[in-house]
Structure 1
Amino acid sequence: MLLDTLTNVVAGLFSAKDKLAHDRFGLFSQDRGQLDAAYRGDWIARKVIDVPPFDMTREWRRWHAAPPQIAAIEAEEARLGLQAKVARALRLARLYGGAALVLGAGDADPSQPLPPIGLGALRYLHVMHRWEISPGEIERDVLSPLFGEPAWYQVASAGQSGGGQSGAGQRRAGQSVRLHPSRVIRLLGAELPDWAAQGADGWGDSVLQAVMDAIRQAGLATQGVAALIHEAKLDVIRIPSLAQSLSSQDYAAKLVDRFTLANTMKGLVNALVIDKEEEWDRKQLSFAQLPEIMQQYLQVAAGAADIPATRLLGQAPAGLNATGEGDIRNYYDRIAAEQRVVLGPALRRLDEALILSALGERPAEIHFDWAPLWQLGAVERAAVAKTKAETTAVYASAGLIPPEVLGRAVRNQVVEDGLYPGIEAAYAEFDAQSVEEAEMEVRASTT
């Protein structure tokens, strides 16, 4: 056996008698019952699942297009409940290892590719977790655009669909429905290293799979400390010849009655009455180190979940002049990267259908940016606006940018910054009034 580590035969370091040399990782898969129990019964597990999807979707995104186009796209998102459904799909994907958004165009045969989407043709958007929708065989043709993805999906339908149509459009209750992959937006939890080698069903692992040990240990630490509270104070009474006297059953019963009465008297008169030959002592448990131990286990759980403790646990940053801003900014940067690298590409198929359904066409220039998660305070926003205004004044005085172009850029900047409420509507009203005045001048000049 080849050992790629430091060994020392004399010291027994990583030799046959070193206990660490026999450590092996074991995989104990969490079944659905355990995942449901952890999510519903443990607050740390629930926050590990809920926090990143909430942060990933809470500020949502900003479309770049003409104002009427943006209004139409956002109205379509609201009609479909897109933001809430994406957040739910992300939660289910993290909890169960996979989830899907199913697109519906109201056509007869869902096993066929999604038809061209026209104005208002996107009928519905359903969220399903991995045990509601089953992927088919994985496409292994490297020339196929679906390489690495399921070639089809299967869903058990509990009712009839098709609006009374015949043939493929009409399905009996309980019959399964096959979906073309163009209708399914697949979201994974924790990706597997090799689906083929693992014999996976096309989904990933639950995020809790790798975090469960840390969550259990944190729960054990907090519950252990809570259990010790009952033992924080213990009265000790020494009674002469107690062991010999307990041989009598009548004495044991009288002893219990006696100290029950003694405890009652202690609560009433704040005094413990005992025999002259008896001795009383009190043992007090020290909690000095327990908060640090409990905190360390919670920190380990936060690290395992890759969520800062200030966000996961809601605790104040520790240390002199500590604000936790660096941790939160790093976390937000990771969330923003996941939005760009993972979520955005996964939703691309949905976004194309969304734009077509909202506008009836797909202008090439329409795109979106994810809204920043870090929100500036009122003072910071005012300082940034002042800096931008000063920069604009420099460009204007130097004449480096044509006034018309600069004015249009400043207008877009002010609208997107949202510093002045209702300014976009005010601009639209101003434009309409300007057009009307120009038309009146033209009519006046012609007459």
Structure 2
Amino acid sequence: MAKKKLKRSRSGQDLKQRKVDALEARNRMNQQLMQMVQGLRNKQDQAPYQYELPQIMPGVIPEGQQSAIAMDCACSGIASWVNQNPQFYGGFLGYPVLAQMTQSSDYRAVPETTAGEMVREWGKVKVVGDGDDELSDRIQRLEKRLKELGIRDLIRQLIETEMIFGRAQLFINLKGQEAESNLPLLLKANHIKKGDLIGFKLVEPMWTTPSLYNSTDPMADDFYQPSKWYVLGKEYHSDRLLTLVMRPVPDLLKPAYNFSGISMLQLMQPYVERWQRTVDAVSDLIHAFSLTGLKTDLSDILAGDDTASSTILRTELFNLYRNNLNTLLVDKEAEEFFQINTPLTTLDALVRQAQEQMAGPSHTPLVKLLGITPSGLNANSDGEIRVYNDYISSQQEAHLRPIIETILRVVQLDLFGEINESVVFEFNSLHQLNDEQRANVNKTKAETAVMLTSGNLVSTEEARDTLAKDETGDYSGIDAEDVPDWEGLNSENPESETDHAA
């Protein structure tokens, strides 16, 4: 009896000990798990910050000088705060990476398309208000000079470079001002004389970095706007560099982007990588969409003896004669042939969707960017094209007009020694009518003019003046006051009187 009680007592103690051991083991596991989580957190905290100062190309900053980057001591703190949450963009990619991206047609498509569209119809120099013969001659000379300087192609390259790197600049090259490069450029006759303009030069952003700017007064106009730049060891005033930044970053991130904007290639990177990954996966899937197998005796291979060579020989024989022109022979009792095919019916839709997403960051219609036309009954891209044209027009006015107006002022000083404020540049409409549409519009205008003059609502001179001022019509520029004398013409040529009356 005593032995049974002792035995039950020991079993109870063993059970309690097991519970204690299990509890200790669970506590150890919880401690290990907490240590693992804490280690991961520490690793993330100690990870290098992605928002850091850009690496400036050698030779840009003069020897013994430093780049004027404000808030450089706060960049690590900014980065630790910004990088807390997942994001598409981990900071400035760097000029070498962006330059390497341009070797891919997937990345180049958007900058080339957008730059081409923004100068596709270009524009013209015109006079605001009533002009005279002197201004008409001046307009012709300005148009000729702009064509000689290749301004249209320079603007196209400027836009393309900005979309690739986030910033692009045009240098105003003037005679005899090499020693004054760090001084402001005044658009006045006593500062730019006739014949001083040599031309304009495109400068890519990897060769420049700010040397001076205001970082203390947010109310000032030049706050975080560089007033001077280092260009390969030489200092230039910002007046001499026409800077284009179409997608600026907040002041908080400007030092990390070398005072550039976000590159369009950087905005496209997530979408292009998804597209390329999808295409590669589909290509691999198509390449091996069918899995072919042979069920046979593998006992000799699994046994590991010398007879495994017979199975290997059988496999090689199977692969050697495996095509549609040969006959497959299998052992009826010991072997079985099987094939598993992956369905490919929806791959085209997946590829198309991944490709279409690349057009999102640039607001470019698929028919413009990729040449993909809408499918379906009565489907067309007219609405998308009109919306895109409106977007391009807004970009022209917001980003190109200030640069072109400055160029026009410099060219006026170079040609005439003065600036006429009534001479302006106007972008042509991106939506152009075809011949049939233009003919219908002109017909409607002519019928309207006839109705107004026959109803004595306007005079013939007023109708001619309207036709002369209509730059889209075929009679633009005619002399409104030189009204033909039909009565005199008919008296000299009586045979045409009946035709004129008709």
TM-score by length of 2: 0.68
Counterparts of 2:253 and 2:298 in 1: how far apart (Å)?
A: 73
Counterpart for residue 225 of structure 2: 149
Matched, 1:101 2:170: yes
Moved more, 60-69 or 242-251: 242-251
Q: How does 1:246-257 map to 2 (within 5 A)?
A: 247=304, 248=306, 250-251=309-310, 253-257=312-316
For residues 418 and 473 of structure 2, the distance between their equivalents in structure 1, rounded to whole angstroms, comes to 29
Q: How far apart are the structure 2 equivalents of 1:318 and 1:297?
A: 17
Residues 302-341 of structure 1 mapped to structure 2, 5 A cutoff? 302-341=359-398
- The amino acid that maps onto 1:306 is H
User: What is the Cα deviation at residue 418 of structure 1?
Assistant: 6.6
Cα distance change on mapping 1:246 and 1:285 into 2, 3 Å: farther
Shift of 1:155: 1.4
Equivalent in 170, 174, 185 of residue 114 of structure 1: 185
The equivalences for 1:35-434 within 5 A come to 35-41=98-104, 43-65=105-127, 66-108=135-177, 109=179, 110-114=181-185, 116-139=191-214, 146=222, 148-156=224-232, 176-195=233-252, 200-241=257-298, 244=301, 247=304, 248=306, 250-251=309-310, 253-263=312-322, 266=323, 269-277=325-333, 278-413=335-470, 416-417=471-472, 419=474
Q: How many Å apart are 1:146 and its aligned residue? A: 4.7
State the structure with more CA Rg: 2
5+ residue gaps, structure 2 = 1-83, 128-134, 483-502
Partner of residue 96, structure 2? 33
Residue 279 of structure 1, CA deviation: 2.2
Contact 2:467 2:473 in 1 (8 A): no
SS of the equivalent of 1:191 reads coil
Equivalent pair of 2:404/2:425 in contact (CA under 8 Å): no
Count of residues in Structure 1 that have an aligned counterpart in Structure 2: 379
Structure 2 CA distance for aligned equivalents of residues 143 and 296 of structure 1: 46
Contact 2:301 2:311 survives alignment (8 Å): no
Report the Cα distance in structure 1 between the residues aligned to 2:219 and 2:342, rounded to whole angstroms: 69
Deviates more, 1:93-102 or 1:217-226: 217-226
In structure 2, distance between residues paired with 1:358 and 1:288: 66
Separation (CA, whole Å) in 2 of partners of 1:139 and 1:399:
65
Q: Residues 205-255 of structure 1: CA distance to partner in whole angstroms, max 9, x if unpaired?
A: 212223311221121112211221111233222223466479445335523
Quick check: 1:73–1:359 contact (8 Å CA) kept in 2?
no
Distance 1:212 1:32 in 2: 14
Distance 1:128 1:274, change over 3 A: same
| SS at structure 2 position matched to 1:282 | strand
Whole-Å separation in 1 of the counterparts to 2:214 and 2:449: 54
Note the alpha carbon deviations across 1:372-418, whole angstroms, 9 max, x for none.
Answer: 112222221211121122222233334444544532431342xx337
TM-score by length of 1: 0.76
Residue 71 of structure 1 and its aligned partner are, at CA, apart by 2.3
Alpha-carbon offset, residue 261 of structure 1: 3.2
Q: Following TM superposition, by how much is the alpha carbon of 1:81 offset from its aligned partner in structure 2, in angstroms?
A: 1.1
1:271–1:351 Cα change, 3 Å: farther
State the one-letter code of the partner of 1:395. Answer: L
- Conserved? CA contact 1:151–1:181, under 8 Å: yes
Using the TM superposition, give the Cα deviation of residue 143 of structure 1 relative to its aligned residue in structure 2, in angstroms: 8.4
**Secondary structure of residue in 1 paired with 2:143:** helix
Distance across 1 between alignment mates of 2:253 and 2:165: 19
SS at match of 1:258: helix
Tell me the SS of whatever aligns to 1:364: coil
Give unmatched runs, 5+ long, in structure 1.
Answer: 1-21, 157-175, 432-447
The alpha carbon displacement at 1:190 in A equals 2.0
Conserved 8 A contact 1:105-1:114 = no
CA contact (8 A) 1:101 1:127 kept: yes
Tell me how far apart the structure 1 counterparts of residues 395 and 141 of structure 2 sit (CA, whole Å). 27
Percent identity at matched positions? 24
Maintained 8 Å contact 2:294/2:338: yes
1:147, distance to aligned residue in structure 2 (A): 5.1
